[in-house]
Amino acid sequence: MCQKSDITEGGRCRISLDRVTGGAWKPDSNECTFFIEVYPYESNNFELNAKGLEIDLYTDIKKQKNFLSNFKTKSGIIYVMAAINATDRKLDDVLIGNDRGGILESSSCNLFVVSNGVLYTPGLEEGCLAGTMRMQVINLAIANGIKVYECNILPQNLLAADEIFLTNAIRGINWVSGYRTKRYFNNMARRFVALLNDHWEENYQNQ
């Protein structure tokens, strides 16, 4: 698809699965169809956002924990509503929580909190999406001797953090400059952008 679309540098590939037509709430078949689309991307490496993001909590809807919580499905109304909420509040993004008071992710990214040089990210058992960039950052942290813990993240952890950054398969790492009145650095976020680019060059660029 990338070759046919003349995408030779950065690009995005999206694969969507849908159930075949037939039936209503009870489908006639469990067979599926798929659709693949590709788009060129303006950069061929990961770049840290120049201006930090301003974020806050999204409290209108809580994400429920179930066996689908870790998967990206098309029933994503909570993410749509969260993104609209961020726009209405003139924020760059908002953080979605679960019904136990934990913070899971943003409207389009996974969440990492940095305290005293240690990474913390919500565990999959809490109900966050199992993002590919999330796992890439965890693996890079382990490979480079950076401690990382998957655990419950509470609002007070945000206020005590040195850094917060959000991860996304397309944008890579976005550092957060502010949560309410709290201000943050971006040293760890900057380090991971470099680690991601080094990993990309070593493992994929020449394939």
Within 10 angstroms of residue 170's Cβ, the number of other Cβ atoms is: 14
Distance (Å, rounded) from C-alpha 127 to C-alpha 69? 5
Give CA separation, 198 vs 45, 47, 112, 202, 205, in Å.
10, 12, 20, 6, 10
Domain ranges of the chain: 1-44, 53-202
Domain 53-202: which CATH class?
Answer: alpha beta
Question: pTM of the entire structure?
Answer: 0.91
Q: At what angle do helices 132-143 and 187-203 cross, to 10 degrees?
A: 90
pLDDT per residue of the chain (207 residues) written in tens, 0 to 9: 888 899 888 888 889 999 898 888 899 999 999 999 999 987 788 999 999 999 999 999 999 999 999 998 888 999 999 999 999 999 999 999 999 899 999 999 999 999 999 999 999 999 999 999 999 999 999 999 999 999 999 999 999 999 999 999 988 999 999 999 999 999 999 999 999 999 888 876 555
CA-nearest of 38, 52, 57 to 164 is: 52
- The pair of structure tokens assigned to 162 is 């040195």
Residue pair 86/144 in contact by the 8 Å Cβ criterion: no
Say what the pLDDT of residue 204 is.
Answer: 66
What residues does 119 pair with on adjacent strands? 114, 148
